[in-house]
Amino acid sequence: MTTATTKPEPNPGIIFETLNAYQRSAALKAAIELDVFSKIAEGNRTADAIAKAVGASSRAIRILCDFLVIIGFLSKSGDEYSLSVDSAMFLDRKSPAYFGGTVNFLLDPRLTAAYSDFTEVVRSGRTTLPDEGTVSHDNPIWVQFAREMMPMMAPAASEIAELVAGEGKINVLDVAAGHGIFGITIAQRNPQAHITALDWPNVLAVATENAQKFGVADRHATLPGDAFEVPLGGPYDLILVTNFFHHFDSSTCEKLMRRFHAALAPGGRCVTLEFVPNDDRVSPPVQASFAIMMLGSTVAGDAYTFSEYESMFRNAGFASSQFHALKYAPQAVILSAKL
Amino acid sequence: MTTATTKPEPNPGIIFETLNAYQRSAALKAAIELDVFSKIAEGNRTADAIAKAVGASSRAIRILCDFLVIIGFLSKSGDEYSLSVDSAMFLDRKSPAYFGGTVNFLLDPRLTAAYSDFTEVVRSGRTTLPDEGTVSHDNPIWVQFAREMMPMMAPAASEIAELVAGEGKINVLDVAAGHGIFGITIAQRNPQAHITALDWPNVLAVATENAQKFGVADRHATLPGDAFEVPLGGPYDLILVTNFFHHFDSSTCEKLMRRFHAALAPGGRCVTLEFVPNDDRVSPPVQASFAIMMLGSTVAGDAYTFSEYESMFRNAGFASSQFHALKYAPQAVILSAKL
């Protein structure tokens, strides 16, 4: 008996597809900006009907929608298109979970410019964006972030509130608050929670607006300034550090963690929300890919593993760190306790 | 007995991944430009060793190589990277099939600019590139194409020559010859084949250079000009029309086909190389995706199905058209015969 060894055939398709992958971003952006998904949800099914509804060329819409089928956002039956489960949930404006606006942050030219000469980024090891990249003092990109990314963060905010909001009086510092949704959701869930949102002043305007909108403005204070320098106040029971550590190298993270440790009450916890890859750094794909975003847009940021976070928090004085996977977001939560 | 219906959970990951897909193109481009694949092939396996070999930051190379693992170009074991089958074949400079240079065509800013405001392209239904887009008279992008895309086309050229080069005296017109590899490969296989390469003069310089390099210059003539206007000469036994029809609308294609029909000898054949999707226009993925390239870069181009080609060739006077899938390229060959 012989066993056939099948050697995989080389296939240039993956190179062609990857070099053209930027067209996927452009196509999804165009579909969101033209509101193609909402118009399909309203019952426009053929290229002609969709084109008429969005005010675009019928040939172009046919080609765009076929491409959206290929990359997983629509399905096609005969010449009729319909939404995928994800498109219906997140890209139809009538859906409460709509977050098409993320395109305005994720594809903001001030961010994507980091990839226009990525060879130079890899050579030099740091962003080619001006100053410190996206973490530069008062970078207006974070106002964009605060305005557009809240809906995408809402599911994670709910899961975090469920984990840590508890009952009774708590004092919460929301670091790099942005839209403010993480602190706000805790305040909604625990009527005795008091939130202090820390961020640049222009960004805090968005958080304050949201605190009013969600009815927690009376328990939502602001602390404008730089997380590395401004006196943090406290003591706090919880310090929320969401989507923040990944911008910095590990010694800078530890410096921040020490500040947070000092501002916590005994028994208080630091609540970190992050993309946390496995130790191999190549899985799971979405979490591990986040490092390339940090390479492009920061001076020394990264997607740290849990064991790296654990060690940084330990060095900063925390007694223990626990990992919590989230159900509805690719990020994970790390709860680090002060004795 | 009850059957559980599992409803798929909505997952925002695909939106995040697609909006960031442009980073895949940037990462592969950087890896090719820095020659990361060749240096790994030479035995540099760790991020530190690769970084030293290519003259780049070690942290950046680690993040880049991890990302290349995630998107399918490398594999990783411990902290050592190795090439995938495709990377070893196509992206190691020592491989005879190396075609990393395609990055210089596929990601030429004159081409990618078409996707910088893709919403406007979809709205207006035509490229936002100047004039007629990539098919504008004498567009220098085709010199780039001729210089860089030959290695990627070599496997298809071999398969075409096997199909049609035959034996004995044949007269071949190579339309939009570019690098010239399609005609040249026929001339190499059939020592009595005479090739006339038609293209813009600046592009023909590359084809002539290649004809010399491959030893067929004595049977390789050039016909500079516009395929729509220049007298074609003939009669020809074969007219090669490779990667050309997709730039035009169907009535323009038919006009060209009529010209080719008139220039063929009785029994002669038009040999079309094209990305040909199935009738559903959404499969196979690489072939069907090609339409989005034509939407971005041309006024009215498309990825036509075989039944559309068959009908265009019939309208132009051809007696029959046959479809041939290729083994080593995503494109297909259509052989259309004149009675």
Q: Which residues pair with B160 in a beta bridge?
A: none
| Residue of chain B whose alpha carbon sits nearest to that of A12 | B86
Per-residue model confidence (pLDDT) at position B110: 87
The distance from CA A200 to its chain's CA centroid, rounded to whole angstroms, is 18
Q: Which residue has the tokens 């030429």?
A: B108
- Mean pLDDT for the stretch of residues A310-318: 98
Separation CA B140–CA A275 (nearest Å): 44
Q: What confidence score (pLDDT) does residue B140 get?
A: 80
Residue B233, token pair as written in the block: 């000469």
Q: What angle do CA A16, A22, A26 make, to 5 degrees?
A: 135
Alpha-carbon distance B23 to nearest alpha carbon in chain A (angstroms): 7
Angle of CA points B183, B185, B187, to nearest 5°:
70
CA-based nearest residue in chain A for residue B72: A14
- Angstrom distance (rounded) from CA B144 to CA B123: 29
**pTM: predicted TM-score of the whole model, two decimal places:** 0.93
pLDDT-derived band at A98, boundaries 50, 70, 90: very high
Q: Alpha-carbon distance A38 to A243, whole Å?
A: 30
Would you state the pLDDT for residue B8?
62
Contacts of A112 in chain B (CB under 8 A): 22
Find the CB nearest B57 among A58, A124, A293.
A124
Cβ contacts of B41 within 8 Å, gap of 6 or more = B83, B88, B92, B94
**Average pLDDT rounded to a whole number, residues A49-71:** 98
Measure the CA–CA gap between A318 and A259, rounded to whole angstroms: 11
Tell me whether residues A67 and B292 touch, CB distance under 8 A. yes
Q: What is the mean pLDDT of residues A300-315?
A: 98
**Cα–Cα distance, B62 to A295 (Å, whole number):** 10
Dist. CA B273–CA B278, nearest whole Å? 15
Ordered alpha helix ranges (H), B264-305: 285-297
Question: What confidence category does residue A157 fall into, taking pLDDT thresholds of 50, 70 and 90?
Answer: very high
Name the average pLDDT for chain B: 94
Tell me what ipTM this predicted complex has: 0.93
CA distance, residue A278 to nearest chain B CA (Å): 12
How many CB atoms are located within 10 Å of the residue A263 CB? 19
The contacts found for A162-167 with CB under 8 angstroms, 24 or more apart, are A162/A189, A163/A271, A163/A324, A163/A333, A163/A335, A164/A238, A164/A269, A164/A271, A164/A335, A165/A189, A165/A190, A165/A193, A166/A190, A167/A192
Nearest to residue B118, comparing CAs of A90, A15, A56, A71?
A56
Token pair for A263: 């501002």
Q: Which of A261, A180, A176, A163 has its CA nearest to residue A219? A: A180
pLDDT band at residue B152 under the 50/70/90 scheme: confident
Smallest Cα distance from A180 to chain B, Å: 20
> Searching chain B, which residue's CA lies closest to the CA of residue A292?
B63
In whole angstroms, give the CA distance from residue B208 to residue A167: 80
Partner-chain contact B125 A58, CB within 8 Å: yes
Pairs of CB atoms within 8 A across A/B: 264
The stretch A17-34 carries a mean pLDDT of: 98
* Structure tokens that stand for A235 in this block: 């003591």
Distances (CA, A) of B86 to A7, A213, B19, B34, B97: 12, 53, 25, 18, 10
Report residue B233's pLDDT band, with 50, 70 and 90 as the boundaries.
Answer: very high
Strand partners, B270: B239, B336
Contact list in B for residue A99 (CB cut-off 8 A) is 12, 15
How far out from the chain centre does Cα A171 lie? 25
Closest-approach residue (CA) in chain A for B89: A10
- Give the model confidence (pLDDT) of B38-49 as tens digits: 999 999 999 999
pLDDT at B232 over 60: yes
pLDDT of residue A287: 95
Give residue B6's pLDDT. 53
Of A25, A57, A69, the CB nearest to B282: A69
CA distance A178 to chain B (A): 19
Q: What are the beta bridge partners of residue A334?
A: A272, A323
- A122 to B89: CB separation less than 8 angstroms, yes or no: no
Position A339 scores a pLDDT of 94
Q: Name every chain B residue with its beta carbon within 8 A of the beta carbon of A155.
A: 12
pLDDT at A2: 40
What is the average per-residue pLDDT within A80-109? 94
B83-133 pLDDT, tens digit per residue, is 999 999 999 999 999 999 999 999 999 889 999 999 999 999 999 888 777
Q: Rounded distance, CA B129 to CA B299, Å? A: 9
pLDDT level of residue B53 (50, 70, 90 thresholds): very high
Confidence at B226, pLDDT banded by 50, 70, 90: very high
Residues B135, B141, B142, B147, Cα dihedral to 10°: -170
d(CA A29, CA A91): 11
Whole-angstrom Cα distance, residue B169 to residue B238?
Answer: 11
Confidence band for B7, pLDDT divided at 50, 70 and 90:
low
pLDDT at A8: 62
**Percent of chain B predicted with pLDDT > 70:** 96
Interface contact A15-B102, CB threshold 8 A: yes
Tell me the average pLDDT of chain A. 94
Least confident residue range of A116-120, A133-137, B310-314: A133-137
Least confident of B138-147, B251-260, B264-273: B138-147
- Residue B31: both structure tokens together: 């890896």
**A263: distance to nearest CA of chain B, Å?**
32
Per-residue b/e over B145-177, b at no fewer than 16 CB within 10 Å? bbbbbbbbbbbbbbbbbebbbeeeebbbbbbbb
Q: What percent of chain A has pLDDT over 70?
A: 97
The pLDDT score that the predictor gives to residue B312 is: 98
Quick one: CA torsion of B199, B128, B256, A13, rounded to 10 degrees?
Answer: 70
Whether the pLDDT of residue B3 is over 50: the answer is no
Contact B302 A13 (CB under 8 A): no
Contacts of B29 in chain A (CB under 8 A): 19, 118-119
Q: How confident is the model at residue B147 (pLDDT cuts 50, 70, 90)?
A: confident
- CB A118 to CB B71 under 8 A? no
> Which residues are paired to A193 by β-bridges?
A170
pLDDT of residue B83: 98
Report, in angstroms and rounded to the nearest whole number, the Rg of chain B calculated over CA atoms.
22
Cβ separation A291–B63 shorter than 8 A: yes
Considering only the beta carbons, identify the residue of A30, A122, A286 that sits closest to B118: A30
Distance CA B143, CA B134 (A): 12
- Give the model's pLDDT for residue A3: 42
Query: What are the start-end ranges of the E strands in chain A?
Result: 74-77, 80-83, 170-175, 193-199, 220-224, 236-242, 264-274, 320-325, 332-337
At A4, the pLDDT band (50, 70, 90 cuts) reads very low
pLDDT computed for residue B281 by the predictor: 97
> Mean pLDDT, to the nearest integer, of B286-305?
96
Check residue B13 and give its pLDDT.
86
Contacts B22 to A, Cβ<8 Å: 21-22, 24-26, 107, 112, 115
Q: Tell me what the mean pLDDT of segment A248-276 comes to.
A: 98
CA distance B296 to chain A (A): 9
- Collapse the DSSP code of A190 into the 3-class scheme (helix H, G, I; strand E, B; otherwise coil) and give the result: coil
Q: Provide the 3-class DSSP secondary structure of residue B244.
A: coil
Query: Which of the listed ranges A9-13, A327-331, B285-289 does the model predict with the highest average pLDDT?
Result: B285-289
